[in-house]
Amino acid sequence: MPKELLIIDGLKTWFPVKAGLLQRTVAFVKAVDDVSLRVRKGETYGLVGESGSGKTTLGKSILRLVEPTAGRIVYADTDVTRATKRELKKLRRRMQIIYQDPYASLDPRQTVGSTLTEPMRIHRLVSSKSEANKRAMELLRKVGLSEEHLHRFPHEFSGGQRQRIAVARALAVDPDFMILDEPTSFLDVSVQAQVLDLLKDLQKELDLTYIFISHNLSVVRYMSDRVGVMYLGRIVEEAQRDDLYQSPEHPYTYYLMAAIPIPDPEFQKVPRLLSGDVPSPVNIPPGCRFHPRCPYATEKCKTEVPSYAGSSTHQVACHYAIDFDKGTAKPRQDYLPQVSGAQPAA
C-alpha cells in the first residue's frame, strides 16, 4: 500500500464573529470542525458536499493559506501547522493549489511568460532568464498550449485556456501534491472533459497526489480513488470510490447521490429531495449535526454525537445502519475506535 503523504488529525478552522463598539468576539464560524483524514501518495482523494460545507476552507488550511485554529497537519513527515516561514516556503513549493475561477486566479497585468517564470525565480529553480523561458515553453506544451501564448495576457484566452495556464503555473515549481478546488466548475462541459483528462495524464506522468474538491459528484467519481463527504465542517462518510457510490451508508450521502441526474431522457427517476437548508456554522445543532434534515433522526441523534462505524475502508458517522430502499434504521454494532487525536465526526 502506498505511503501516507498527508495526515490530518482533529483539524479545526474557526473564524471569529465580532460585534459591538469594541469588536469583541461573540461567536465563531466553525468552517472546519474536527476533521481527520489520510491521503496516500499517488492517489486522488475526492472531497464532496454542498456549498458551505467547508471543503475550500479545508483545502486552504492544509496549505496554511488560512491559519488553522487547532489540530495537526503533517505532510511528508513535516508538521505543517508548526512550520516556520522558511520551512513553509519550502513546503509550498511541493504543495500547490488550482483555484475554481480561472478568470480571477491569474494576474491580468502579467503575461503568461511572467506568470510561469516568477515562481521559478522565487524558489530559485532556474539560473537565468533563458532557462526560465525554456521551462515555461515546455510547460505550455505539456498543458496543450503553444509557445506563441507565452507573450499574451490572460484576457486574450478562453476559460479553458486560462485554466490550462493555471495548471502550468502550479506545475512550474515541480510539486508533489496539488489541491484542485473545483477546477472545472466555471468551464463548459466539453472543456471540462479536456481539463480533467489533462489532470489525470499529468498525475500519471509526474506521480502527483491530488485532493479534488467539487460539488459535482459525477466529476468526483471520474477523478477519485477515495471520497470523503463533508457536511457542516466535518467528514460524515469516507470510502473507496465505487463502494461509496454503489452503497452509501450515511443519509446525507444517499441524498446527494440521489440528486445526480441520469443522462437518459426515458429514465423515470423517483425524486428523493433533501428537505431544509444547511444550518448556520455559527449555531451548529447538538448531537448529529445532520439530524434537523434527516428523515431517520431519533432523540438519540439530537443529543449524542455519533462515532465512526463500518470497516477500515468504509467509515460512516451515523448511529444507525439504514436500509434506504425499505426506509428502516437499526442501531449499528460496528463502531470503530477513534483516530488518535480526532474527535467523533457527525
Q: What CATH number is given to the structural domain containing 195?
A: 3.40.50.300
Q: Report the side by side order of strands in the sheet with 95-98.
A: 95-98, 177-181, 209-213, 44-48, 226-231, 234-240, 314-317, 308-310
| Domain boundary pick from 163, 195, 224 | 224
User: For residue 145, what are the contacts with CB-CB under 8 A and spacing of at least 6?
Assistant: 161, 164, 165, 168
219 in the same domain as 78: yes
242 in the same domain as 218: no
For residue 281, pLDDT over 80 is answered with yes
Looking at residue 342, its pLDDT comes to 36
CA-nearest of 105, 92, 100 to 178 is 92
Looking at residue 149, its pLDDT comes to 93
User: For residue 8, what are the contacts with CB-CB under 8 A and spacing of at least 6?
Assistant: 35, 36, 37, 38, 62, 71, 72, 73, 74
For residue 257, pLDDT over 50 is answered with yes
For residue 345, being part of any structural domain is answered with no
The stretch 26-30 carries a mean pLDDT of 93
| Domain boundary pick from 203, 224, 245 | 224
137 in the same domain as 285: no
For residue 339, pLDDT over 70 is answered with no
104 in the same domain as 22: yes
Give the tens place of pLDDT for each residue, 180-193.
Answer: 999 988 888 888 88
Average pLDDT of the residues of the chain: 89
For residue 235, pLDDT over 90 is answered with yes
261 in the same domain as 210: no
Q: Any idea how long the chain is?
A: 346
For residue 91, pLDDT over 60 is answered with yes
The stretch 228-257 carries a mean pLDDT of 94
How many domains in the chain? 2
Q: Which residue segment(s) compose the domain that 282 sits in?
A: 231-331
Between CA 98 and CA 111 the distance in angstroms is: 18
Give the tens place of pLDDT for each residue, 145-196.
Answer: 998 999 999 999 998 999 999 999 999 999 999 999 999 888 888 888 899 9
Give the tens place of pLDDT for each residue, 319-337.
Answer: 999 988 888 888 887 765 4
Query: pLDDT-based confidence at 27, cuts 50/70/90?
Result: very high
Give the tens place of pLDDT for each residue, 259-277.
Answer: 777 776 776 666 677 777 7
pTM above threshold 0.85: yes
